Amino acid sequence: MQSLIKTCALSLMVAGLTACGGSGGGGKKPEQPPVSSSSSSSSIAPSSSSIASSFTPASSSSSTPASSSEASSSVASSAAAGSENTLAATTYTNYSVAEIANCGVNITAADKTFAFFADYDSGVQNQSVSSLNFSGWNHATNGSTTEWVNLKNTPNTYNFSTSAAVNDSCNGVDTINVVLVKKVADWDRQHSNGFERSIISYGYKFGDIENLVLDLKINSAKTTIPSVDSLKTTYASYVNAATVDGLDSGKVNLGITLHDGGNLNAAIIVELDQSTLKDKWVRVTIPMKNLTFYSEVNYVRTAKTLADLSNVVIKRGLFVGETRTGAVLRGNINPWSANVPETFKETDISFKKIEFQLK
């Protein structure tokens, strides 16, 4: 069994993120604050005063493999035979992805790390994540039926649980499990659910971090990603094919934002091909320098650098489902109508580790 790195329970903070904002392919629009997940007794509903539209990737080609993308041999992250290790990594423009072998076997915390969430040897099972100041929201339980009619599952499916759960696919480690939902057409409540953790009391600054590391698995059970061709068919009367091509590539996208509680952000969108990675544990390693840094006031962004934010303390990290660009189609549909059909990207995902590797 594994255990969480021991951390103090943080005092809950009201999040400042309009988690459902975002670029609309030519327009941005604020919306109502997220509705707290009905499964979370202490979840934080991000308020309307924050950083909607904070999920533009560091590069529009961030999922394109580099020219020397794959190592010629496997690289073990653990010297102990039979212990968890990573195979050869594929390097993309802003991050790398490596399959995990012997998942959950003999895993301990490395030096100079801070875990948002992690489970290591000899630990408590089904641990509380709400006590670690995790929270989530789920708009799909807002009472509207027409808005969510095309979702594949019942609304409560998309709740964020206040407890981790033992995962038999990784030697019984505890995992955070959630089906993340992103709208494709409308920017209202586009990040239909998501989760975050407040870490401000730890005092980590943007400049303290070398890499952000995520160990995750895309579960095929409830993952439904519409193909680009199907989107072109659905929206043929509203946008041209090139607009759809520019929006999404029919793959899983995970939006990650680190935020200072004011208007300073570092964000990235990671793209994972569910056709090849489904039901496999993988490690995603993101160098901090490869995130996009910016300030945002009234949905207007100003580019920043890591050096600009180096001494700024991180308040929280937020995780949502995304399109490849972080945009939706609404900005390209004029006039907009409530009759435009909604399509959803649904990603069933498990996290066993979300970690800072410190400098």
Please state, in angstroms and rounded to a whole number, the distance separating the CA atoms of residues 215 and 195: 16
What average pLDDT does range 337-349 have in this prediction? 97
pLDDT digits over 232-286, tens only? Answer: 999 999 999 999 999 999 999 999 999 999 999 999 999 999 999 999 999 999 9
Tell me: pLDDT of 304 over 70. yes
The average confidence (pLDDT) of the chain is: 83
Tell me: pLDDT of 332 over 80. yes
What average pLDDT does range 281-304 have in this prediction? 97
Local confidence band at 10 (pLDDT 50, 70, 90 cut-offs): very low
pLDDT for the residue 214? 98
pLDDT digits over 313-323, tens only? Answer: 999 999 999 99
Question: What is the pTM (predicted TM-score) of this model?
Answer: 0.82
Q: Centre a 10 Å sphere on the Cβ of residue 340 and count the other Cβ atoms it contains.
A: 18
pLDDT for the residue 125? 84
Q: Number of structural domains, the chain?
A: 1
| Contact in structure between 273 and 251 (CB atoms under 8 Å) | yes
Q: What is the DSSP string of 15-42?
A: ----TT--B-SS-B---PPPPBPTT-TT
Domain that holds residue 222: 2-358
pLDDT for the residue 351? 98
Please state, in angstroms and rounded to a whole number, the distance separating the CA atoms of residues 35 and 144: 12
What average pLDDT does range 347-354 have in this prediction? 98
What average pLDDT does range 302-325 have in this prediction? 98
pLDDT for the residue 299? 87
pLDDT for the residue 124? 74
pLDDT digits over 195-210, tens only? Answer: 999 999 999 999 999 9
pLDDT for the residue 80? 54
Q: Centre a 10 Å sphere on the Cβ of residue 303 and count the other Cβ atoms it contains.
A: 9
pLDDT for the residue 16? 37
Nearest-CA neighbor of 347 among 273, 282, 257?
273
pLDDT for the residue 120? 82
Local confidence band at 29 (pLDDT 50, 70, 90 cut-offs): very low
Q: Centre a 10 Å sphere on the Cβ of residue 183 and count the other Cβ atoms it contains.
A: 26
Tell me: pLDDT of 211 over 70. yes
Which of 12-21, 137-146, 345-354 shows the lowest per-residue confidence on average (mean pLDDT)? 12-21
What H or E segment, with its residue span, contains residue 88? strand 85-92
